[in-house]
Amino acid sequence: MKRLFPYLLLLALVSEVWAEVLPPLPQTQVVKLNDHVYALLGPLELPTAENRGYMVNSAVILGEKGVILVDTGFSHEIGEHLKQAVKTITNKPVTHIINTHDHGDHVLGNNAFPGATIISSEQCKSVMEKTGYEWIGILEQTTGRTYPNTKPVVAGKGYAPGVHKQVMIDGVNLTLWVPPGSHTATDMLVYLPQDRILISGDVLENQLMPSFRDANVKNWIGTLQKIGTMQISNIIPGHGPLMQQADVKQMLNRMQTFYAGVEAGYKQGLTDGEIRKQLDLTEWKKLKYFDEFIGLDVNRTYLEVEAANF
């Protein structure tokens, strides 16, 4: 043991030095929408060793006594990073967290805010209990690091499917909307009616190829149609720059045409690979990470169409 001690000490020192030389996380772009709502815009990227999984948009809503934070990032480390961004806005503590869906890049920073009340859809709460550690594995695999401080922390309060409910949280009037499963079966959107601001999670993404990994594409189209009827001045999407209703219309048109093209190909007896070759993907190719997601998205839509026509 005495012989091992110098080596263990050296290993500890090396680990400490390595932790110190890690580059800082990418900067958060803080955008003030009004005197009590701010967007925290993260990088428009996939997880990498450099960004350590920081790739999400969050929102800060100032209440009477504290902060309502919508989505907390992919790790405890990113949650702490967002906490520092909040401190550039206000000295109020984060007292409430709203999770827009279960994907790890939006929820695994929850445990950086001990004592905060966490709110989500019921489905998000249920799915996180089953898959939270799987998302930590995805983060570690894609960034090449371990995250020992990151643990899934689920909501204490969940809202049922179909809920469209006005609530008062810390003096702020919010509408919590749980649509039919769209980007995921766990989605919940946050609307501030007085401000006409929508915080959408990944139901809306800007300039980025959406992932249909856990999607119901037809439901998603229906949700976008309903968003298009809302009185909205600003949208904080799950990823990418702020959006307006014109951007929602573009996303809706892309997805309607996409679904219709896959459905038509299926009814012609084509495979998903054959359908991909005949789809007009001009508008989709303008989106970041088109090549990474188009195959998955065609296949997922094909399986949905097949199930609907079985």
What pLDDT tens digit does each residue of the chain (310 aa) get? 445 444 444 444 444 434 446 789 999 999 999 999 999 999 999 999 999 999 999 999 999 999 999 999 999 999 999 999 999 999 999 999 999 999 999 999 999 999 999 999 999 999 999 999 999 999 999 999 999 999 999 999 999 999 999 999 999 999 999 999 999 999 999 999 999 999 999 999 999 999 999 999 999 999 999 999 999 999 999 999 999 999 999 999 999 999 999 999 999 999 999 999 999 999 999 999 999 999 999 999 999 999 999 8
Q: What is the pLDDT of residue 11?
A: 43
Q: What is the pLDDT of residue 17?
A: 39
Alpha carbon distance 225, 179 (integer Å): 12
Q: How many CA atoms lie within 13 A of 63 on its CB side?
A: 19
Contacts of 190 (CB under 8 A, 6+ apart): 59, 70, 98, 100, 174, 175, 176, 177, 198, 199
* Residue 4, in any domain of the structure: no
Range of the domain at 83: 22-308
Q: What is the pLDDT of residue 16?
A: 41
Q: Burial of 298 by CB count in 10 Å (0-12 exposed, 13-18 middle, 19+ buried)?
A: buried
CB atoms near residue 169 (< 10 Å): 18
Q: Is the torsion defined by CA of 75, 81, 85, 91 positive or negative?
A: positive
* Residue 187, in any domain of the structure: yes
| The residue type at 142 | T
* Residue 12, in any domain of the structure: no
Question: In Å, how far are 29, 160, 208, 233 from 55, measured between CA atoms?
Answer: 12, 28, 11, 24
Collapsing DSSP states into helix, strand and coil, what is residue 27?
A: coil
Alpha carbon distance 292, 140 (integer Å): 19
CATH assignment at residue 279: 3.60.15.10
Alpha carbon distance 253, 132 (integer Å): 33
What DSSP designation does 24 have?
A: P
* Residue 9, in any domain of the structure: no
- Tokens matching residue 41: 């815009």
Question: Could you give the number of structural domains in the chain?
Answer: 1
Q: What is the pLDDT of residue 10?
A: 43
- Residue written as token pair 């009477």: 64
* Residue 129, in any domain of the structure: yes
Alpha carbon distance 101, 183 (integer Å): 9
* Residue 146, in any domain of the structure: yes
* Residue 8, in any domain of the structure: no
* Residue 6, in any domain of the structure: no
